[in-house]
Chains A and B, each alone.
Chain A
């Protein structure tokens, strides 16, 4: 068996980006939440906000640290493994990536230090400002990366000279057809993901009767947010889908499992798209609904995968199912939010044990939906790296051998399988410790403690101490 550097490089990119995206999926929302909490504390002087903010800032610090170091890996992938893509598209993608670094990374990194370590060193307004700047930084970062990603999906504003891309119109490059939809959909996804983590953590402590004031505040505030965002996200997803229908019809055909172009197409709920046989097996379908959703007409025409040559089709089964996982999770979230509002109306939101248990179980839902959505859109772009213009197989570094990439892939897998679980473990320890008590917050600098040697000698684990 020969090792294919293209397949291995794709696996490697999938591996590093999937793990990396988990962190922005959490930190973008959390940075915004912390900024809001700091703002509320600054205005109301209510110490509950302060304690909630301190609690989440500790967790944020760990996830942000891992986000930074796993993020540094990403631009280097473009050079080490996809150098032909970099060489061909750099005139367009280079400035977008550089603007991400210039506008976002430095903002985040510099103000993070003040957010974490500077509460006693700067005036309260400056500390709030630092929190806000970190949040703004994460949003800027998403803006540029999604502009770049969207351009690869729906390229615009360019011309080809000697087989290489040149930017003609930067506004058209950045605000390419899929960008506004993708940006809105992804940012909302990140906020929702964080929201479900926050309510899960609040529910965990409420069920144990701890930190009641803080956790009720977390649960209530976040559920209001989710009540607005989850339905909005479903709407945004639908708009994004229609955008895909117009600009990337092959991807959409794979998402829907359609092989034949037809008027009055059904909506296939479940099935197994068979790439070889060019059919979707065991399809459970609702007649006409596919056309109705996509074209808003009963007999609207929906294109099937057979319209494209075999070598131009994306692998349908993966996309078909990752899309359904994402949508399924979205509907599940809607159900949870609806239940929560019903309980709130009945005045039982904080006391219903079965519901709090459900909230806890929902903690990973957002992350799973983000990965599933990412797989849908990225695998759906195949076999192109720049949709319709440059094939993924032409993008890989020419000097790489399969053995090189296999070796690096093994290293990435091994390192991430150590680093991520270990980091997760420490986050779980912090989450279980919960928001600190009033007397704890009177200690210097955010009321948290460093394990000084004396303490360490006494053998008191920091985690136990934080929550007597």
Chain B
């Protein structure tokens, strides 16, 4: 009765899209939180928070979508990866709670206790990002699997490589946040965001370079993927385009572009994401279980795809609408608080 349709490629795209949307969108609002404590003054902090207050909630929803899409489309990966990342996930969730409530409570707090919510927002954002960076590092390194279950230890995720990815992600989200602020603010705060974006861009390029050189040594298959012939020629545009994008981004900051730096930061993330996908393809549980082996039953994937193909464009549509409503520079009199 079942049509022999392979939904795996489509689900791979949808999951990849969902995770990427999360990384970009929560990336910039986490980045705003990471830069929050360094900001020049309380007025600047008010503006920074207001620039993301109406949309952070929608941004974070992509995390839920990533999680449940993994469960629904690739359940074997879900039930191996999440136990392997037990503590980073725990820490991430708790940090997101603190920063989430800080959005509401900071503006409602008496001035004397507001610094506590500043701290909750900043450290919540920072710790959540570090935890996601550890998740990323552990994911690239791969998981020990026996049968259908994770067979490693509860602290396998903590390695020098994952420490590097954690720090890199903080820098990367910081860059997204700084370029977002260039787009959304003006005057002194915008100048400050530009100066942050400069050093963040340099650090991000440095850490991307180290990670790119380190990753092939983690796993022979990755080495082969990038450096065997003809792959090395076919894939050479990836690093070249990345470097070109970084230079363009640098010039855009120098030329005081408002919009281009944020787009440039997004493009840089896209290249990083692409590089990661090339390294790990076709595995969803690196380096042992492929997308096809982890896939849910075709009937389940089919049932969900019908709704998803209809709903995802709708979601993108009204997400875009809410961004449109809050377009333009964020100003002091905005906000419902």
Q: B-contacting residues of A (Cβ < 8 Å)? A: 57, 61-62, 65-66, 68-73, 75-76, 78-80, 83-84, 86-87, 90-95, 97-103, 105-107, 109-114, 116-119, 121-122, 166-167, 170, 397-401, 404, 407-408, 411-412, 415, 419, 422-423, 426, 429-430, 444-446, 448-453, 455-457, 459, 461-463
Contact = CB atoms under 8 A, between A and B. Distances in A.
A169 to B, nearest CB: 10
Given A69-B101, A79-B82, A452-B332, A91 B89 contact: no
A90 B78 contact: yes
11 contacts: A69-B101, A79-B83, A84-B149, A87-B76, A91-B299, A109-B60, A116-B54, A415-B98, A452-B46, A456-B111, A463-B110
> For the complex, would chain B's binding face be called helix, strand, loop or mixed by DSSP majority?
helix
A110 B100 CA distance: 15
Nearest to B299: A167
Given A69-B97, A84-B79, A109-B58, 15 more contacts: A61-B104, A62-B104, A65-B100, A66-B100, A68-B61, A72-B93, A79-B79, A79-B82, A80-B85, A95-B304, A103-B307, A118-B54, A411-B94, A419-B98, A452-B332
Number of contact residues on B: which range applies? Answer: 35 or more
B41 to A, nearest CB: 8
Given A78-B71, A80-B86, A459-B111, A65 B308 contact: no
A167 B322 contact: no
Interface stretch (B193-201, B222-230, B238-246, B310-318): B310-318
B14 to A, nearest CB: 10
Contact of A448 (B72, B332, B337): B337
A248 to B, nearest CB: 26
Interface of B: 41-43, 46, 50, 53-55, 57-58, 60-61, 63-65, 67-69, 71-73, 75-76, 78-87, 89-90, 93-94, 96-98, 100-101, 103-105, 107-111, 114, 148-152, 154, 296-297, 299-300, 303-304, 307-308, 311-312, 315, 318-319, 321-322, 325-326, 332-337
Q: Which 9 A-B pairs have the closest CB atoms?
A: A79-B82, A90-B75, A94-B72, A113-B54, A69-B100, A83-B79, A456-B111, A109-B58, A87-B79
A73 B93 contact: yes
Given A101-B64, A103-B311, A106-B61, A86 B79 contact: yes
Contacts of A78: 71, 78, 82
Contact of A86 (B75, B98, B103): B75
B121 to A, nearest CB: 12
